[in-house]
Structures are given as C-alpha cells and as structure tokens.
Amino acid sequence: MRSISAAPMLALALAALFGGACTVADESTAACPEVVTADGVDVWTDERGCPVPPHEIFSRAGDSTCGWELVDEIVIGDLGAYHWDPVNLLAYVDQQVRNRTFRTADVIDDLTDSGWRRGDEVLWLDPTDERHVYLVRGDQTDRYLLDTEDAIICD
C-alpha cells in the first residue's frame, strides 16, 4: 500500500537528487530565492510573487494509478495534507465530503488570507479550525479537508 500523502518531502528530495526536478525562477522574481521542486508538484507563491519552498506548502494531483487525478492535494508544513475531491472518490476513508464549494462572500469574513497563491487562487485559513483550508478563486471558494489520520491510501 502507498499513501499519496506519506513522506512528501522525501519524494521531493529524491526527485531533486535523481532528476526530474526544476528550478523556479524568472526575470520578474529575480530578487526571490530559487526553489527546487519535483515534476508534478505545483509551486505556490507568496504575496510578492516569490516561490514558496515546498517544506512550507506544495500541491499536486491525486495518484493516477488509482484514478484520483481529479483529487487536489495541498500539503502544508507540519499541518498535513488537505484534499479537494470533486466527485467524492475518497469518501470511503471516513465518509467525509471533500467537495464543498461556497460563494466566497459567504465564508470570507471568518477566514484569514494565508499569503500563499497558486496562479489566480488564494489559500485562506480558518484560525479556529485547522481541519479545513479554503481555496478562493473569484466568487467561488472550495473547502479542503485535512487527512487527520494519514489514511488516504492508494493500493
């Protein structure tokens, strides 16, 4: 068995050592530190547009060997892996719904901007609830659920 959220930093380190890694930098972020990440891993940026090291935050699609390509996983430092599952493939783990979407105006008052961006998406946190993070795109907000037991497993 293999967990898609197990040892994410080991996978990044191995990819950097044995190839398949890329350096993120361009002229617009010349004052930013370089960040090395593995193929298939999304790089997040801070409010200045500088790449954020993957030990702080990274994301990736779910494991294709289990047909979970639609699942989006966001891994945040010591907090763990959060999942968005638009077709509820992962409900077998704990019967939790991982595909809740809200109008941004309905949730934004209770949330805090993390400062992290992925393209036109902004990650917002709930200071009173670490079980959820919120990905905001315009007037739509998706709620991601924390994998508290590291139980999202792909055989």
Q: What is the pLDDT of residue 20?
A: 41
pLDDT band at 35 (very low <50, low <70, confident <90, very high): confident
pLDDT digits (tens, 9 = 90+) for 45-66: 999 999 999 999 999 999 899 8
Report the alpha-carbon distance of residue 147 to residue 52 in Å, rounded.
22
Q: What is the pLDDT of residue 30?
A: 62
Report the alpha-carbon distance of residue 88 to residue 95 in Å, rounded.
9
Longest dimension (CA), the chain: 46
Helices H / strands E in the chain, number of each: 2, 13
pLDDT digits (tens, 9 = 90+) for 24-34: 444 554 688 88
Report the alpha-carbon distance of residue 93 to residue 68 in Å, rounded.
14
Report the alpha-carbon distance of residue 132 to residue 148 in Å, rounded.
11
Select the highest-mean-pLDDT range: 3-7, 95-99, 150-154: 95-99
**In this structure, which amino acid lies at residue 111?**
L
104 exposed, middle or buried (CB, 10 Å; 0-12, 13-18, 19+)?
middle
pLDDT digits (tens, 9 = 90+) for 111-155: 999 999 999 999 999 999 999 999 999 999 999 999 988 888 887
Q: How much is the pTM?
A: 0.78
Report the alpha-carbon distance of residue 46 to residue 39 in Å, rounded.
20
